[in-house]
Amino acid sequence: MSRTGPLFGRTAPWGVLILGVALAYLLGARVGFQLALIDMKITPLWPPTGIALAALLLFGPRVWPGISLGALAANALVGGEPLLAFAGISVGNTLAPLVAYYLLKQLGFRRKFDRLRDALILVFAGALGAMLVSSTIGSAALAMSGTVGHFWTGWTVWWTGDAMGVLTVAPLLLIAPRFRWPKDVPAARWVEAIVLAAGTIGTAVVATTAPATLLFLVFPWLIWAALRFEQAGALCGALAVCTIAILAAARGWGPFSYMQLPLRMITLQALDGSVALSALLLATVTVQRNRAEAEQACVQLNEMVARIAPAQSLRGAVLDIIQNISDRPPRDP
């Protein structure tokens, strides 16, 4: 039995981890396929990529067979591809999280998200950069097999789906081991959280279904979530907004109704990327600010103790001398 990160004290055996990752990947794929835009195979949100990257960061590269097993099972679930396309998609879905993992490690990524650079590394290296691997391999495999007629259309949707999976799912899974159910929380705090959740979801639904372009209305809610509830609030809000926007784009609702598929994907990726990036950056800055305030408070407390301690020591010494003098027996005249 070996130790890993904060998720478990002692891990399950390697085989159990592999099966667990594969099962999580398959469950995420079932969700992703519900939003498929092209031939029921290419979707603008692919949660398994975020699950795979989070598993690699939490348990190390030894769990990569679970990613491959999950990718094979997910592709078999849909079926219909020639063997070459089936193999190519599975290889691409395995390689992309591995490339993202090694890129993040080389760039000094820390999964606590307590530095601004960690959020930027995840967005630009882990999501936008590394996911070029799976989108290129998978779209090329489908195009060569004749399953998808146009390479670039499939490539755009594939890249959007994998990148959004990393940006929306991976951060939540990475901070999940640190979640603790709050205790002794005032009722007003619960009311604030409920109002924030309802407002975020309601605004996202209105903004993505109304004919007018109102997508910018979601950002004040994300700012509120990041400032008041830090990472948990901001990332949950971003996931809700991105999922609703993807559902609207997939169904052609609201501002997406008049757009062709490539423009829809560009707009969706711009919106979801902005939402995820804003949530990550704001949450990270808020954590840094709170940590700086706590460190400053510790410094001030140490300075107060340093100033008070000598005075207290001198006072104690004088009192001891007075007490010793008073305790002495009177001298005989």
**Residue 19: closest CA among 85, 84, 63:** 63
State the Cα angle at 32 between 4 and 239, rounded to 5°.
65
The residue extents of the domains of the chain are 1-179, 181-325
SS3 318: helix
**Is the pLDDT assigned to residue 51 strictly greater than 90?**
yes
Q: Does domain 1-179 have CATH number 1.10.1760?
A: yes
**Residue 269: closest CA among 305, 290, 292, 245:** 245
Dihedral of CA atoms 280, 117, 297, 314 in degrees, nearest 10, equals: 160
Pick the more confident residue, 115 or 130.
Answer: 130
pLDDT band at 317 (very low <50, low <70, confident <90, very high): low
Give phi and psi for 105, each to the nearest 5. Answer: -65, -40
Number of other residues whose CB lies within 10 A of the CB of residue 188: 8
Distance, in Å, from the CA atom of 47 to the CA atom of 31, rounded to the nearest integer, reads 8
pLDDT over 70, % of the chain: 83
Q: Across all residues in the chain, what is the average pLDDT?
A: 81
CA distances from 260 to 33, 241, 251, 255, 325 (A): 21, 22, 12, 11, 96
Number of other residues whose CB lies within 10 A of the CB of residue 58: 21
CB 65 within 8 A of CB 18: yes
Distance, in Å, from the CA atom of 242 to the CA atom of 122, rounded to the nearest integer, reads 17
Paired tokens of 67: 């990613």
**Is the pLDDT assigned to residue 147 strictly greater than 50?**
yes
Q: Average pLDDT of 73-99? A: 84
CB 245 within 8 A of CB 230: no
pLDDT band at 297 (very low <50, low <70, confident <90, very high): confident
Q: Where is average pLDDT lowest: 12-16, 58-62, 215-219?
A: 12-16
Select the highest-mean-pLDDT range: 72-86, 90-104, 164-178: 90-104
CA 54 to chain CA mean position, Å: 9
